[in-house]
Structure 1
Amino acid sequence: MRVVTISATYGTAGSQIGPAAAERLGVPFIDRAIPSAVAEELGCTLEEALAHDDRAEHGIGRLFSGAMRLPTVTFGGVDMYVPGAMPLAPEEFVSRTERVLKETARLQGGVFLGRAGALVLGDHPGALHVRLDAPLTRRVRQTATLGQLSEREARQIIEDNDRARSAYVRHFYRTDPADARLYHLVIDSTTIPVATCVELIVMASEARD
Protein backbone atom coordinates (compact mmCIF):
# COMPACT_ATOMS: atom_id res chain seq x y z
CA MET A 1 0.00 0.00 0.00
CA ARG A 2 1.29 3.44 -0.91
CA VAL A 3 2.39 5.62 2.01
CA VAL A 4 3.46 9.26 1.64
CA THR A 5 4.19 11.66 4.48
CA ILE A 6 4.15 15.40 3.85
CA SER A 7 5.75 17.98 6.13
CA ALA A 8 4.56 21.39 5.00
CA THR A 9 5.46 24.81 6.30
CA TYR A 10 2.59 27.29 6.34
CA GLY A 11 1.94 28.88 2.97
CA THR A 12 3.19 25.97 0.86
CA ALA A 13 -0.23 24.55 -0.14
CA GLY A 14 0.10 21.29 1.80
CA SER A 15 -3.66 21.08 2.27
CA GLN A 16 -4.09 21.24 -1.52
CA ILE A 17 -1.19 19.07 -2.60
CA GLY A 18 -1.85 16.31 -0.04
CA PRO A 19 -5.43 15.47 -1.09
CA ALA A 20 -4.60 15.74 -4.79
CA ALA A 21 -1.65 13.36 -4.43
CA ALA A 22 -3.77 10.91 -2.43
CA GLU A 23 -6.46 10.91 -5.12
CA ARG A 24 -3.88 10.25 -7.82
CA LEU A 25 -2.33 7.40 -5.81
CA GLY A 26 -5.71 5.89 -4.93
CA VAL A 27 -5.20 6.09 -1.16
CA PRO A 28 -6.90 8.11 1.61
CA PHE A 29 -5.73 11.58 2.59
CA ILE A 30 -5.08 11.36 6.34
CA ASP A 31 -5.32 14.62 8.25
CA ARG A 32 -8.45 15.53 10.18
CA ALA A 33 -9.31 11.86 10.80
CA ILE A 34 -6.28 11.47 13.08
CA PRO A 35 -7.44 13.51 16.11
CA SER A 36 -10.89 11.92 15.82
CA ALA A 37 -9.37 8.42 15.97
CA VAL A 38 -7.12 9.40 18.88
CA ALA A 39 -10.08 10.83 20.79
CA GLU A 40 -12.03 7.62 20.25
CA GLU A 41 -9.12 5.48 21.46
CA LEU A 42 -8.58 7.57 24.59
CA GLY A 43 -12.28 8.09 25.33
CA CYS A 44 -11.84 11.86 25.42
CA THR A 45 -13.51 14.67 23.50
CA LEU A 46 -12.39 15.75 20.04
CA GLU A 47 -11.62 19.17 21.54
CA GLU A 48 -9.13 17.58 23.94
CA ALA A 49 -7.46 15.67 21.11
CA LEU A 50 -7.25 18.81 18.98
CA ALA A 51 -5.67 20.69 21.88
CA HIS A 52 -2.72 18.29 21.64
CA ASP A 53 -2.60 17.95 17.86
CA ASP A 54 0.24 19.19 15.69
CA ARG A 55 -1.98 20.54 12.91
CA ALA A 56 -4.84 22.02 14.96
CA GLU A 57 -5.28 25.78 15.27
CA HIS A 58 -4.84 25.57 19.05
CA GLY A 59 -2.53 22.56 19.09
CA ILE A 60 0.04 21.83 21.74
CA GLY A 61 2.93 23.07 19.64
CA ARG A 62 1.74 26.62 20.26
CA LEU A 63 2.02 26.08 23.99
CA PHE A 64 5.59 24.83 23.73
CA SER A 65 6.51 27.65 21.34
CA GLY A 66 4.93 30.32 23.54
CA ALA A 67 2.90 31.56 20.57
CA MET A 68 -0.33 31.73 22.57
CA ARG A 69 -1.69 31.49 26.10
CA LEU A 70 -4.61 29.27 27.09
CA PRO A 71 -6.04 28.01 30.41
CA THR A 72 -3.50 25.47 31.65
CA VAL A 73 -2.89 22.77 34.19
CA THR A 74 0.64 21.77 35.13
CA PHE A 75 1.76 18.15 34.82
CA GLY A 76 5.34 17.18 35.52
CA GLY A 77 6.48 20.74 35.02
CA VAL A 78 4.77 21.08 31.63
CA ASP A 79 1.91 23.55 31.24
CA MET A 80 -0.72 22.04 28.98
CA TYR A 81 -4.06 23.28 27.71
CA VAL A 82 -6.92 21.21 29.06
CA PRO A 83 -10.41 22.08 27.81
CA GLY A 84 -12.13 19.24 29.68
CA ALA A 85 -12.33 18.20 33.30
CA MET A 86 -10.14 15.07 32.88
CA PRO A 87 -6.70 16.21 31.66
CA LEU A 88 -4.32 13.78 29.98
CA ALA A 89 -0.58 14.07 29.56
CA PRO A 90 0.61 15.36 26.16
CA GLU A 91 2.87 12.34 25.78
CA GLU A 92 -0.17 10.06 25.86
CA PHE A 93 -1.77 11.91 22.95
CA VAL A 94 1.45 11.81 20.94
CA SER A 95 1.87 8.09 21.65
CA ARG A 96 -1.67 7.35 20.49
CA THR A 97 -1.23 9.57 17.43
CA GLU A 98 1.85 7.55 16.48
CA ARG A 99 -0.13 4.34 16.90
CA VAL A 100 -2.96 5.63 14.69
CA LEU A 101 -0.48 6.68 11.98
CA LYS A 102 1.31 3.32 12.00
CA GLU A 103 -1.87 1.23 11.98
CA THR A 104 -3.46 3.33 9.24
CA ALA A 105 -0.31 3.07 7.11
CA ARG A 106 -0.19 -0.69 7.61
CA LEU A 107 -3.88 -1.36 6.95
CA GLN A 108 -4.76 1.04 4.14
CA GLY A 109 -1.85 3.29 3.27
CA GLY A 110 -2.41 6.98 2.70
CA VAL A 111 -0.97 10.43 2.30
CA PHE A 112 -0.27 11.73 5.82
CA LEU A 113 0.00 15.47 6.45
CA GLY A 114 2.04 16.70 9.41
CA ARG A 115 2.40 15.11 12.86
CA ALA A 116 6.06 14.23 12.32
CA GLY A 117 5.03 11.57 9.81
CA ALA A 118 8.54 11.21 8.35
CA LEU A 119 9.82 10.27 11.80
CA VAL A 120 6.87 8.14 12.94
CA LEU A 121 6.75 6.22 9.64
CA GLY A 122 10.45 6.42 8.91
CA ASP A 123 10.80 2.63 8.90
CA HIS A 124 7.62 1.90 6.95
CA PRO A 125 8.59 -0.12 3.84
CA GLY A 126 8.40 1.90 0.64
CA ALA A 127 7.13 5.08 2.31
CA LEU A 128 7.96 8.37 0.58
CA HIS A 129 8.74 11.35 2.82
CA VAL A 130 8.18 14.81 1.34
CA ARG A 131 8.94 18.30 2.61
CA LEU A 132 7.17 21.37 1.20
CA ASP A 133 9.08 24.53 2.02
CA ALA A 134 10.07 27.89 0.60
CA PRO A 135 11.70 31.15 1.66
CA LEU A 136 9.59 33.17 4.09
CA THR A 137 9.12 36.09 1.70
CA ARG A 138 7.50 33.91 -0.96
CA ARG A 139 5.29 32.14 1.57
CA VAL A 140 4.18 35.51 2.94
CA ARG A 141 3.33 36.77 -0.54
CA GLN A 142 1.37 33.62 -1.41
CA THR A 143 -0.52 33.58 1.91
CA ALA A 144 -1.38 37.27 1.65
CA THR A 145 -2.67 36.86 -1.91
CA LEU A 146 -4.74 33.74 -1.28
CA GLY A 147 -6.08 34.90 2.09
CA GLN A 148 -6.61 38.53 1.06
CA LEU A 149 -4.42 39.65 3.94
CA SER A 150 -1.80 42.30 4.37
CA GLU A 151 1.75 41.00 4.17
CA ARG A 152 2.21 41.93 7.83
CA GLU A 153 -0.78 39.79 8.85
CA ALA A 154 0.39 36.92 6.65
CA ARG A 155 3.89 37.06 8.12
CA GLN A 156 2.54 36.88 11.68
CA ILE A 157 0.36 33.85 10.86
CA ILE A 158 3.26 32.06 9.17
CA GLU A 159 5.74 32.79 11.95
CA ASP A 160 3.28 31.58 14.62
CA ASN A 161 2.57 28.38 12.71
CA ASP A 162 6.23 27.70 11.89
CA ARG A 163 7.19 28.18 15.52
CA ALA A 164 4.40 25.92 16.77
CA ARG A 165 4.96 23.04 14.35
CA SER A 166 8.71 23.16 14.86
CA ALA A 167 8.21 23.17 18.65
CA TYR A 168 6.06 20.03 18.45
CA VAL A 169 8.71 18.06 16.55
CA ARG A 170 11.62 19.41 18.56
CA HIS A 171 9.93 18.72 21.90
CA PHE A 172 8.71 15.18 21.23
CA TYR A 173 11.35 13.98 18.74
CA ARG A 174 14.40 16.15 19.49
CA THR A 175 14.71 16.83 15.77
CA ASP A 176 14.59 19.84 13.47
CA PRO A 177 11.68 19.28 11.03
CA ALA A 178 13.53 21.36 8.42
CA ASP A 179 16.40 18.86 8.28
CA ALA A 180 16.44 17.76 4.62
CA ARG A 181 17.95 14.40 5.59
CA LEU A 182 14.53 13.32 6.90
CA TYR A 183 12.99 13.47 3.42
CA HIS A 184 13.33 11.85 0.02
CA LEU A 185 11.92 14.88 -1.78
CA VAL A 186 12.00 18.59 -0.88
CA ILE A 187 9.87 20.89 -3.06
CA ASP A 188 9.47 24.67 -3.21
CA SER A 189 5.75 24.78 -3.90
CA THR A 190 5.67 28.58 -4.13
CA THR A 191 7.58 28.47 -7.41
CA ILE A 192 6.50 25.06 -8.72
CA PRO A 193 2.75 24.88 -9.54
CA VAL A 194 0.55 22.68 -7.34
CA ALA A 195 -0.24 20.29 -10.20
CA THR A 196 3.47 19.78 -10.89
CA CYS A 197 4.18 19.21 -7.19
CA VAL A 198 1.49 16.54 -7.16
CA GLU A 199 2.98 14.91 -10.26
CA LEU A 200 6.45 14.87 -8.68
CA ILE A 201 5.12 13.22 -5.52
CA VAL A 202 3.16 10.61 -7.47
CA MET A 203 6.15 9.76 -9.67
CA ALA A 204 8.48 9.53 -6.67
CA SER A 205 6.04 7.35 -4.74
CA GLU A 206 5.66 4.97 -7.66
CA ALA A 207 9.45 4.87 -8.07
CA ARG A 208 9.79 3.82 -4.40
CA ASP A 209 8.04 0.56 -5.33
Structure 2
Amino acid sequence: MRVITISRSYGSAGSLLGRKLAERLGYQYVDERSISRMKTNKEAASVLMMNLEDERSPGFMDRVAELMHNRSYFRTALGVAIYDLILRKDVVVVGGGGHLILRGYPLKVSIQIYRNLSDRVHDISIEKNISQDQALDLVESKDREKRRFISYYFDEDLFDPISFDITLNASHVSLDDALDLIEGYCKRYFDRVNTEEAELFAEARLLEKRAQLAVFHMNLMRNSKIVFKVSEPRILAVKGVVGGAGEKERLLRGLRSLKGVDKVIDQLKTGVLSRMLY
Protein backbone atom coordinates (compact mmCIF):
# COMPACT_ATOMS: atom_id res chain seq x y z
CA MET A 1 0.00 0.00 0.00
CA ARG A 2 3.02 2.29 0.04
CA VAL A 3 3.16 4.67 -2.89
CA ILE A 4 5.88 6.89 -4.29
CA THR A 5 4.81 9.23 -7.09
CA ILE A 6 7.33 10.88 -9.38
CA SER A 7 6.60 13.87 -11.58
CA ARG A 8 9.32 15.04 -13.91
CA SER A 9 10.22 17.33 -16.76
CA TYR A 10 11.25 15.72 -20.04
CA GLY A 11 14.91 14.76 -20.06
CA SER A 12 15.35 14.85 -16.28
CA ALA A 13 15.80 11.06 -15.99
CA GLY A 14 12.74 10.78 -13.75
CA SER A 15 11.56 7.59 -15.46
CA LEU A 16 14.95 5.96 -14.96
CA LEU A 17 14.90 7.02 -11.33
CA GLY A 18 11.42 5.54 -10.93
CA ARG A 19 12.40 2.18 -12.43
CA LYS A 20 15.58 1.97 -10.34
CA LEU A 21 13.66 2.92 -7.21
CA ALA A 22 10.98 0.29 -7.86
CA GLU A 23 13.67 -2.36 -8.39
CA ARG A 24 15.50 -1.38 -5.22
CA LEU A 25 12.38 -1.35 -3.03
CA GLY A 26 10.55 -4.25 -4.68
CA TYR A 27 7.63 -2.04 -5.71
CA GLN A 28 5.56 -2.33 -8.90
CA TYR A 29 6.43 0.30 -11.51
CA VAL A 30 3.62 2.16 -13.30
CA ASP A 31 4.11 5.05 -15.72
CA GLU A 32 2.05 7.24 -18.03
CA ARG A 33 2.40 4.76 -20.91
CA SER A 34 0.31 2.34 -18.86
CA ILE A 35 -2.14 5.15 -18.20
CA SER A 36 -2.39 6.19 -21.86
CA ARG A 37 -3.22 2.60 -22.85
CA MET A 38 -6.38 2.84 -20.76
CA LYS A 39 -7.74 5.34 -23.29
CA THR A 40 -6.82 3.43 -26.45
CA ASN A 41 -6.68 -0.26 -25.61
CA LYS A 42 -9.93 -2.17 -25.02
CA GLU A 43 -8.20 -4.99 -23.18
CA ALA A 44 -6.56 -2.53 -20.78
CA ALA A 45 -9.91 -0.82 -20.25
CA SER A 46 -11.44 -4.23 -19.52
CA VAL A 47 -8.89 -4.87 -16.79
CA LEU A 48 -9.52 -1.38 -15.42
CA MET A 49 -13.26 -1.91 -15.21
CA MET A 50 -13.28 -5.48 -13.91
CA ASN A 51 -14.08 -4.34 -10.38
CA LEU A 52 -16.95 -2.04 -11.31
CA GLU A 53 -19.82 -4.50 -11.70
CA ASP A 54 -20.37 -8.19 -11.06
CA GLU A 55 -22.44 -8.53 -14.23
CA ARG A 56 -22.01 -6.29 -17.23
CA SER A 57 -24.76 -5.40 -19.65
CA PRO A 58 -24.36 -5.94 -23.40
CA GLY A 59 -22.22 -3.22 -24.94
CA PHE A 60 -20.50 -2.52 -21.62
CA MET A 61 -17.00 -2.39 -23.09
CA ASP A 62 -18.12 -0.27 -26.03
CA ARG A 63 -19.52 2.19 -23.50
CA VAL A 64 -16.25 2.17 -21.57
CA ALA A 65 -14.26 2.88 -24.74
CA GLU A 66 -16.58 5.77 -25.57
CA LEU A 67 -16.46 7.27 -22.09
CA MET A 68 -12.67 7.10 -21.85
CA HIS A 69 -12.57 10.27 -23.97
CA ASN A 70 -14.66 12.14 -21.39
CA ARG A 71 -12.38 14.17 -19.11
CA SER A 72 -14.27 13.56 -15.85
CA TYR A 73 -14.78 9.89 -16.59
CA PHE A 74 -11.15 9.28 -17.47
CA ARG A 75 -9.95 11.03 -14.32
CA THR A 76 -12.35 8.96 -12.20
CA ALA A 77 -11.48 5.71 -13.96
CA LEU A 78 -7.81 6.45 -13.45
CA GLY A 79 -8.50 6.91 -9.74
CA VAL A 80 -10.28 3.55 -9.61
CA ALA A 81 -7.36 1.83 -11.32
CA ILE A 82 -4.70 3.35 -9.08
CA TYR A 83 -6.54 2.94 -5.78
CA ASP A 84 -7.38 -0.65 -6.68
CA LEU A 85 -3.69 -1.28 -7.41
CA ILE A 86 -2.28 0.33 -4.28
CA LEU A 87 -4.61 -1.66 -2.05
CA ARG A 88 -2.86 -4.77 -3.34
CA LYS A 89 0.74 -3.67 -3.89
CA ASP A 90 3.44 -1.14 -3.10
CA VAL A 91 3.82 1.05 -6.18
CA VAL A 92 6.04 3.65 -7.83
CA VAL A 93 3.85 5.82 -10.10
CA VAL A 94 5.72 7.96 -12.64
CA GLY A 95 3.74 10.70 -14.37
CA GLY A 96 0.04 10.65 -15.20
CA GLY A 97 -0.95 12.92 -12.32
CA GLY A 98 -0.46 10.20 -9.70
CA HIS A 99 0.38 12.77 -7.01
CA LEU A 100 -2.95 14.52 -7.67
CA ILE A 101 -5.09 11.39 -7.92
CA LEU A 102 -3.76 10.21 -4.55
CA ARG A 103 -3.88 13.60 -2.85
CA GLY A 104 -4.56 13.10 0.84
CA TYR A 105 -3.58 9.42 0.87
CA PRO A 106 -1.42 8.93 3.99
CA LEU A 107 0.99 6.28 2.64
CA LYS A 108 2.22 8.42 -0.25
CA VAL A 109 5.39 10.38 -0.89
CA SER A 110 5.31 12.72 -3.91
CA ILE A 111 8.56 13.65 -5.62
CA GLN A 112 9.29 16.19 -8.34
CA ILE A 113 12.41 15.72 -10.47
CA TYR A 114 13.61 18.65 -12.54
CA ARG A 115 16.85 19.49 -14.29
CA ASN A 116 18.55 22.50 -15.84
CA LEU A 117 17.30 23.12 -19.36
CA SER A 118 20.79 23.19 -20.86
CA ASP A 119 21.59 19.76 -19.41
CA ARG A 120 18.37 18.30 -20.72
CA VAL A 121 18.91 19.69 -24.20
CA HIS A 122 22.51 18.46 -24.29
CA ASP A 123 21.65 14.90 -23.29
CA ILE A 124 18.56 14.64 -25.53
CA SER A 125 20.64 15.88 -28.47
CA ILE A 126 23.14 13.07 -27.91
CA GLU A 127 20.55 10.40 -27.13
CA LYS A 128 18.39 11.19 -30.19
CA ASN A 129 21.33 12.15 -32.46
CA ILE A 130 19.74 15.48 -33.29
CA SER A 131 20.91 19.09 -33.26
CA GLN A 132 20.79 21.30 -30.17
CA ASP A 133 18.00 23.36 -31.72
CA GLN A 134 15.97 20.25 -32.49
CA ALA A 135 16.57 18.95 -28.97
CA LEU A 136 15.41 22.24 -27.50
CA ASP A 137 12.22 22.12 -29.58
CA LEU A 138 11.60 18.52 -28.46
CA VAL A 139 12.16 19.28 -24.77
CA GLU A 140 9.86 22.29 -24.85
CA SER A 141 7.23 20.35 -26.80
CA LYS A 142 7.27 17.45 -24.34
CA ASP A 143 7.08 19.80 -21.36
CA ARG A 144 4.05 21.53 -22.92
CA GLU A 145 2.42 18.16 -23.54
CA LYS A 146 2.88 17.10 -19.91
CA ARG A 147 1.65 20.46 -18.64
CA ARG A 148 -1.45 20.31 -20.89
CA PHE A 149 -2.32 16.81 -19.66
CA ILE A 150 -2.26 17.88 -16.01
CA SER A 151 -4.05 21.16 -16.72
CA TYR A 152 -6.78 19.48 -18.80
CA TYR A 153 -7.54 16.55 -16.51
CA PHE A 154 -6.79 18.05 -13.09
CA ASP A 155 -6.88 21.86 -13.47
CA GLU A 156 -3.47 22.02 -11.80
CA ASP A 157 0.02 23.24 -12.69
CA LEU A 158 2.35 20.29 -13.26
CA PHE A 159 5.39 22.18 -12.05
CA ASP A 160 3.88 23.68 -8.87
CA PRO A 161 6.35 22.65 -6.12
CA ILE A 162 3.68 22.96 -3.41
CA SER A 163 2.16 19.71 -4.68
CA PHE A 164 5.26 17.68 -3.73
CA ASP A 165 6.96 16.44 -0.58
CA ILE A 166 10.44 16.42 -2.16
CA THR A 167 11.85 18.31 -5.13
CA LEU A 168 15.23 17.31 -6.57
CA ASN A 169 17.40 19.02 -9.17
CA ALA A 170 18.94 16.17 -11.16
CA SER A 171 21.61 18.53 -12.45
CA HIS A 172 23.11 18.62 -8.95
CA VAL A 173 21.99 15.33 -7.34
CA SER A 174 23.31 12.10 -8.85
CA LEU A 175 21.05 9.12 -9.52
CA ASP A 176 22.60 7.04 -6.74
CA ASP A 177 22.40 9.89 -4.24
CA ALA A 178 18.77 10.52 -5.19
CA LEU A 179 17.94 6.84 -4.69
CA ASP A 180 19.61 6.80 -1.29
CA LEU A 181 17.90 10.03 -0.22
CA ILE A 182 14.43 8.92 -1.33
CA GLU A 183 14.75 5.43 0.10
CA GLY A 184 15.88 6.75 3.49
CA TYR A 185 13.19 9.41 3.69
CA CYS A 186 10.38 7.07 2.59
CA LYS A 187 11.36 4.40 5.10
CA ARG A 188 11.28 6.87 7.98
CA TYR A 189 8.05 8.45 6.75
CA PHE A 190 6.16 5.21 6.08
CA ASP A 191 7.16 3.80 9.48
CA ARG A 192 5.27 6.68 11.13
CA VAL A 193 2.02 6.19 9.20
CA ASN A 194 -0.88 4.14 10.55
CA THR A 195 -1.36 1.55 7.80
CA GLU A 196 -4.87 0.63 8.93
CA GLU A 197 -6.03 4.23 8.59
CA ALA A 198 -4.36 4.45 5.19
CA GLU A 199 -6.12 1.29 4.04
CA LEU A 200 -9.50 2.62 5.18
CA PHE A 201 -8.82 5.90 3.34
CA ALA A 202 -7.95 4.07 0.11
CA GLU A 203 -10.94 1.74 0.36
CA ALA A 204 -13.28 4.68 0.90
CA ARG A 205 -11.93 6.66 -2.07
CA LEU A 206 -12.07 3.55 -4.28
CA LEU A 207 -15.69 2.92 -3.39
CA GLU A 208 -16.64 6.56 -4.00
CA LYS A 209 -14.96 6.51 -7.39
CA ARG A 210 -16.61 3.23 -8.36
CA ALA A 211 -19.94 4.86 -7.55
CA GLN A 212 -19.05 7.86 -9.70
CA LEU A 213 -18.29 5.54 -12.62
CA ALA A 214 -21.65 3.83 -12.14
CA VAL A 215 -23.39 7.20 -12.60
CA PHE A 216 -21.59 7.63 -15.94
CA HIS A 217 -22.58 4.16 -17.09
CA MET A 218 -26.23 4.80 -16.23
CA ASN A 219 -26.20 8.04 -18.26
CA LEU A 220 -27.25 10.07 -15.22
CA MET A 221 -24.57 12.75 -15.31
CA ARG A 222 -26.40 15.25 -17.53
CA ASN A 223 -29.55 15.66 -15.45
CA SER A 224 -28.18 14.87 -12.01
CA LYS A 225 -26.03 16.41 -9.31
CA ILE A 226 -24.77 13.53 -7.18
CA VAL A 227 -21.99 13.19 -4.61
CA PHE A 228 -20.82 10.13 -2.68
CA LYS A 229 -19.27 9.76 0.74
CA VAL A 230 -17.91 6.72 2.57
CA SER A 231 -17.59 7.55 6.27
CA GLU A 232 -17.72 3.94 7.48
CA PRO A 233 -16.29 0.83 5.78
CA ARG A 234 -18.52 -0.54 3.00
CA ILE A 235 -21.29 1.99 3.70
CA LEU A 236 -21.94 4.39 0.83
CA ALA A 237 -23.93 7.60 1.33
CA VAL A 238 -25.38 9.17 -1.81
CA LYS A 239 -26.63 12.75 -1.81
CA GLY A 240 -27.94 15.08 -4.50
CA VAL A 241 -30.61 15.49 -7.11
CA VAL A 242 -31.89 13.08 -9.75
CA GLY A 243 -34.51 13.63 -12.41
CA GLY A 244 -37.29 11.43 -11.08
CA ALA A 245 -38.34 8.41 -9.04
CA GLY A 246 -37.41 6.00 -11.82
CA GLU A 247 -33.88 7.38 -12.13
CA LYS A 248 -33.48 7.33 -8.37
CA GLU A 249 -34.48 3.68 -8.10
CA ARG A 250 -32.22 2.72 -11.01
CA LEU A 251 -29.29 4.51 -9.39
CA LEU A 252 -29.83 2.95 -5.97
CA ARG A 253 -30.18 -0.50 -7.50
CA GLY A 254 -26.94 -0.02 -9.40
CA LEU A 255 -25.08 1.26 -6.33
CA ARG A 256 -26.21 -1.69 -4.22
CA SER A 257 -24.72 -4.05 -6.84
CA LEU A 258 -21.25 -2.47 -6.67
CA LYS A 259 -18.43 -4.55 -5.25
CA GLY A 260 -17.55 -3.47 -1.74
CA VAL A 261 -20.98 -2.01 -0.89
CA ASP A 262 -22.90 -3.52 2.01
CA LYS A 263 -25.30 -0.62 2.54
CA VAL A 264 -26.42 2.49 0.64
CA ILE A 265 -27.65 5.50 2.62
CA ASP A 266 -30.20 7.32 0.45
CA GLN A 267 -30.05 11.12 0.79
CA LEU A 268 -31.29 11.79 -2.75
CA LYS A 269 -33.92 14.29 -3.86
CA THR A 270 -35.92 14.11 -7.06
CA GLY A 271 -36.74 17.04 -9.29
CA VAL A 272 -35.50 19.16 -12.17
CA LEU A 273 -31.88 20.02 -11.42
CA SER A 274 -31.96 23.51 -12.98
CA ARG A 275 -34.98 24.52 -10.91
CA MET A 276 -33.42 23.30 -7.69
CA LEU A 277 -30.17 25.12 -8.42
CA TYR A 278 -31.69 28.42 -9.49
Shorter-chain TM-score range: 0.7 to 0.9
Number of the residue aligned with 2:43: 40
Q: Deviations over 1:38-80 (max 9, x none)?
A: 6436449xxxxxxxxxxxxxxxxxxxxxxxxxxxxxxxxxxxx
1:103 paired with 2:84, answer: yes
Number of the residue aligned with 1:24: 24
Number of the residue aligned with 1:65: none
CA contact (8 A) 2:125 2:132 kept: yes
Q: Distance in 1 between matches of 2:87 and 2:126?
A: 39
CA contact (8 A) 1:10 1:162 kept: yes
Task: Point out the more displaced range, 91-100 or 104-113.
Answer: 91-100
| Cα drift, residue 204 of structure 1 | 1.9
Identity among equivalent positions (%) equals 24
| Cα drift, residue 36 of structure 1 | 4.7
SS at match of 1:94: helix
RMSD: 2.1
| Cα drift, residue 10 of structure 1 | 0.2
| Equivalent of residue 135 in structure 1, options 108, 116, 141 | 116
Q: Distance in 2 between matches of 1:34 and 1:174?
A: 18
CA contact (8 A) 2:112 2:168 kept: yes
The normalised TM-score by structure 2 is 0.56
Q: Identify unmatched segments of 5+ residues in structure 2.
A: 48-64, 191-278
Number of the residue aligned with 1:90: 70
1:9 paired with 2:12, answer: no
Q: Deviations over 1:133-170 (max 9, x none)?
A: 12322211222233332211111111111101101111
Q: Which amino acid aligns with 1:17?
A: L
Q: Distance in 1 between matches of 2:80 and 2:2?
A: 18
CA contact (8 A) 1:34 1:100 kept: no
Task: Point out the more displaced range, 159-168 or 138-147.
Answer: 138-147
Number of the residue aligned with 2:180: 199
Higher fraction of strand? 2
| Cα drift, residue 95 of structure 1 | 2.3
CA contact (8 A) 1:27 1:110 kept: yes
Q: Distance in 2 between matches of 1:177 and 1:34?
A: 17
Name the CA shift for 1:144/1:190 in 2 (closer, same or farther; >3 Å).
farther
Q: Distance in 2 between matches of 1:11 and 1:190?
A: 11
1:156 paired with 2:137, answer: yes
Name the CA shift for 1:16/1:42 in 2 (closer, same or farther; >3 Å).
closer
CA contact (8 A) 1:2 1:205 kept: no
Paired residues in the alignment total 168
The normalised TM-score by structure 1 is 0.72
SS at match of 2:171: coil
Q: Which has the higher relative contact order, 1 or 2, with Cα contacts under 8 A spaced 6 or more apart? A: 1
